[in-house]
Amino acid sequence: MAAMPVVANADHAPLEGGEDPAFGTVRWRTLFSADRTETHGMVLGVAEFGPDGTLLPHRHAPAEIYYGLAGDGVVTIDGIAHAIAPGVALYIPEEAEHGTVAGPEGLKFLYSFPRDRFSDVDYRFTAP
């Protein structure tokens, strides 16, 4: 049986995160994840940062893609800083250490992993 199309609306997805200081202050909305939607093979969500918000340095096995939607910031990948803003896409290789600092207006970006579920991504944060 063929998979059916699935539609997600970010305005209706719950806002998660922001409580665990190990992650930083980032919050996110999961749009596609096999444990929540009739999808497989890809995870898609929106990360949201307040002014000067952070996602602390970490790594994980799958590669990841960011696509800037609003605001701006800096994503440091293996020690190299990359600007992110609306229309800018970043590919983060598997196991690359990366972290994000939002600009003074905050930041919002789309993220995607080649996994079935968001819970399949094992975040390993760098010790301070």
pLDDT band at 1 (very low <50, low <70, confident <90, very high): low
What is the per-residue pLDDT across 10-66, written as a single tens digit (0 to 9) for each?
A: 999 999 998 888 889 999 999 999 999 999 999 999 999 999 999 999 999 999 999
pLDDT of residue 115: 97
Long-range contacts of 22-28 (CB under 8 A, 24+ apart): 22/56, 22/125, 23/55, 23/56, 23/123, 23/125, 24/53, 24/54, 24/55, 24/56, 24/99, 24/100, 25/49, 25/50, 25/53, 25/54, 26/53, 26/54, 26/55, 26/100, 28/111
pLDDT at 22: 86
Q: How many CB atoms lie within 10 A of CB 12?
A: 8
Instruction: Please write the tens of the pLDDT for every residue from 61-113.
Output: 999 999 999 999 999 999 999 999 999 999 999 999 999 999 999 999 999 99
What domains lie within the chain, and their CATH numbers?
22-117 (2.60.120.10)
